[in-house]
Amino acid sequence: DAGVIQSPRHEVTEMGQEVTLRCKPISGHDYLFWYRQTMMRGLELLIYFNNNVPIDDSGMPEDRFSAKMPNASFSTLKIQPSEPRDSAVYFCASSFGGGVSYNEQFFGPGTRLTVL
Amino acid sequence: AQSVTQLDSQVPVFEEAPVELRCNYSSSVSVYLFWYVQYPNQGLQLLLKYLSGSTLVKGINGFEAEFNKSQTSFHLRKPSVHISDTAEYFCAVKNYGGSQGNLIFGKGTKLSVKP
């Protein structure tokens, strides 16, 4: 089992540029989560999907942020245009719902984004 | 809405000493509780969880935690730490019946184990 795969692991870009982060969840998992981690705010949920459908995007900070899940094995988080305050580590996580109230979320290694 | 407070942002400790990382939560309903660990440059991984039943929960790497409903706490303990336990530890809470996305994390505690 390869676990949750994220790419790139590191991204350095200039303010105003478009940034696309990618995630491949664990096969068979039906939930996918995008988190952002910063020193100031800790770990925040941005958006999550169930069966490829966005369920809650209330954590997405601004319209500059968008996320898609075109199929069960791929998701993207896009920032356009990027700003220095978007610098953070972005994590993708996945889980299998199984009809119970909680199941363990498995995290990817994260993408460290630096916006200059 | 639920919330999590990790009382210590950093905990330095010597190798083979015991350690306790504190976590308090706030919620108006029953909760599930979790501890995650994040090693440098890695994602979070589940250390242990309390869903129901026995209030003393044992996890991986010799860690355990005790759920105390009256004190709304879920402190993490290890009787003897190793250098390899150096990491950041996150407490998290989820309400019973809440959505799958309703997992709230604390700000984290950095455990630094010194030789």
**The predicted structure's pLDDT at residue A99:** 61
For an interface test with A, which of B5, B27, B32, B44 has the most A Cβ atoms less than 10 Å from its Cβ?
A: B44
**The predicted structure's pLDDT at residue A101:** 59
Residues near A103 by Cβ (< 8 Å), separated by ≥ 6?
A31, A95, A96, A97, B100
**The predicted structure's pLDDT at residue A94:** 93
Do β-strands B10-14 and B109-114 pair in parallel, antiparallel, or remain unpaired?
parallel
| Among the partner residues A43, A101, A109, nearest to B96 by beta-carbon distance | A101
H or E stretch at A102: none
| Residue-number span of the structural domain to which B21 is assigned | 3-114
Cβ within 8 Å of A, B 27-46: 32, 41-46
Residues near B70 by Cβ (< 8 Å), separated by ≥ 6?
none
CATH number, domain of B64, equals: 2.60.40.10
Do β-strands B56-58 and A31-38 pair in parallel, antiparallel, or remain unpaired?
unpaired
Residue A63 CA: distances (Å) to CA of A19, A66, A79, A103, A112 = 14, 7, 9, 30, 21
**The predicted structure's pLDDT at residue A103:** 73
Residue A34 CA: distances (Å) to CA of A24, A72, A94, B57, B115 = 12, 15, 9, 28, 37
**Rounded Cα gap, residues B103 and A95, in angstroms:** 12
**The predicted structure's pLDDT at residue A82:** 96
Q: Phi-psi category of B69—alpha, beta or left, where left has phi over 0 and alpha has psi -120 to 50?
A: alpha
**The predicted structure's pLDDT at residue A100:** 63
Per-residue pLDDT of chain A (116 residues; tens, 9 = 90+): 689 999 999 999 999 999 999 999 999 999 999 999 998 888 999 999 999 999 999 999 889 999 999 999 999 999 999 999 999 999 999 998 766 657 788 999 999 999 99
- Number of structural domains, chain B? 1
